[in-house]
Amino acid sequence: MSARTELLALLAANGLGTVNTDLFAGYLPPINPKATNPLFECIALIPSPGFPDGIDGSAAFGGQFYDLHTLQLFSRSDAADRAEGRALAAFKVFGDVSNELLSGVQYAKIERRQPPYLLERDTLGAVTFAFNVIAWRAAVQASDYSVFL
């Protein structure tokens, strides 16, 4: 599994939606206002390129090697309070992760880079809130990082 898939499973387990129904690994799906369910309300996790200064993509913590995954969460709804509320709920879920197994993979933490912020309000009336995280996910093989020892 990918970090995005594991984190979406965590959000689903905490009641924030259903993977591939209103929780997506990738960009927010397009809105079809004529559909029965136009997908106004959903969450998406996308990879966010690059790292802040001083972070190189891998780290050691407590004797374990971790790959650092930068991701951005988007929460969209046709009502600003619902979009923000779901973003805040996901923000809390991620902040509660501390040295846990998620889908069988060890995570040291999910570092939240800033609180949810209003990203956009589009012409169809959809409101999107976003925030960024760095997920500390156990490296697949610690031997891959022996060059750093």
pLDDT digits (tens, 9 = 90+) for 53-99: 556 567 776 777 888 899 999 999 999 999 999 999 999 999 999 99
CA–CA separation, 131 and 86 (whole Å) = 12
pLDDT tens-place string over residues 24-58: 999 999 888 787 777 789 999 999 876 665 565 67
Residue 142, both tokens: 């610690």
pLDDT band at 143 (very low <50, low <70, confident <90, very high): very low
CB–CB of 93/107 below 8 Å? no
Task: Quote the pTM value.
Answer: 0.86
Q: Where does 3-148 sit in CATH, by number?
A: 3.30.2000.30
